[in-house]
A = this chain, B = another copy of it.
Amino acid sequence: MLQDAIQPRESWAPPVLPSAGTDHLPSTAFTLRHHQHLARSGERPDHLHQILQGWAGRYRLLSDGRRQITGLYLPGDLCDPCWLDGGRAVQSVVALTPIQASRTSRREMESQAANDVALMKFLWRQTQFTQQIQAEWLVNLGRKNAIERLSHLLCELYTRLSSAGAADQKSCDMPLTQLDLADLAGLTPVHVNRTLQEMRSMQLIELQSRRLTIMDWESLRRIAWFDPAYLAVRSARDSFQAAA
């Protein structure tokens, strides 16, 4: 097969750029295979992408091979507002699964945003959202041990997918390999493996066949010190706008 198959588990409609539907901001659908790049460090990307299906990751590689994934782009996420205004991509973004996305010219997006308050607010919110997640990850990496980090990561992923309508009651997709998890959590793959086994033996989660099931949300949340407030930026800001 020339192209990896993309098989969503459920019929699911991703959110759409606020202006893309109404004002017809031109965008083109395209697909990427696992390990292909949406941007490389040092480039000046001339397109922004909205992920429709699949997961992408922003990362930095040290020249001795150490890799840290510094951000995840899930379906509905915009990749990446920080390339606006002609900025260079400081870090690379790669497809962690096969990906389907829509691509919009950076210049079109910029000129549209200058006149379109809704789009501007969407970009601003998306940026703030990314920043809040990063700040929370700093706490994770700086102050938590392996089981706390992985628990938090799973809590966050489930919550983000859930609020995008891409999770069911207790389970969601989890296409990341243990190597990906290690590069997210700042651990070695070996230690991720052992910690996941511990979490399974504690009846916290099931994780197999690229599918996560959360058996005991309350315990997982407590172990992770997970407080979803930092993820509320997107929705909370909307309700404020509505109230004002």
A: residues with CB less than 8 A from B are 42, 58, 60, 62-63, 66-68, 70-71, 82, 84-88, 90-91, 121, 124-125, 127-128, 130-132, 134-139, 141-144, 183, 185-186, 225, 229-230, 233, 236-237, 240-241, 244
**Bound CA–CA A18/B2 (angstroms):** 52
In the complex, the answer to whether A139 meets B87 with C-beta atoms within 8 Å is no
In the complex, the answer to whether B138 meets A138 with C-beta atoms within 8 Å is yes
**Chain B residues in 8 Å Cβ range of A128:** 82, 87, 127
Q: Which of B85, B131, B183 contacts A237 (CB 8 A)?
A: B85
Task: Please report whether the interface of chain A is mostly helix, strand, loop or mixed according to DSSP.
Answer: helix
**Bound CA–CA A136/B60 (angstroms):** 8
Q: Which of B62, B88, B229 contacts A139 (CB 8 A)?
A: B62
**Chain B residues in 8 Å Cβ range of A86:** 237, 240-241, 244
Protomer copies: 2
**Chain B residues in 8 Å Cβ range of A183:** 142
Given contacts A66-B143, A141-B141, A143-B67, contact A135 B134 (CB under 8 A): yes
**Chain B residues in 8 Å Cβ range of A125:** 85
Given contacts A67-B143, A138-B70, A143-B66, contact A90 B186 (CB under 8 A): no
In the complex, the answer to whether B143 meets A186 with C-beta atoms within 8 Å is yes
> How far is the CB of A243 from the nearest CB of chain B, in Å?
9
In the complex, the answer to whether A71 meets B135 with C-beta atoms within 8 Å is yes
Chain B residue with minimal CB distance to A132?
A: B90
**Bound CA–CA A127/B84 (angstroms):** 12
**Chain B residues in 8 Å Cβ range of A127:** 127-128, 131
In the complex, the answer to whether A85 meets B186 with C-beta atoms within 8 Å is no
Q: Which of B58, B139, B244 contacts A70 (CB 8 A)?
A: B139
Chain B residue with minimal CB distance to A184?
A: B142
Most B CB contacts (10 A, CB to CB) among A87, A233, A240 go to A87
In the complex, the answer to whether A90 meets B135 with C-beta atoms within 8 Å is yes
**Chain B residues in 8 Å Cβ range of A84:** 124
Chain B residue with minimal CB distance to A182?
A: B142
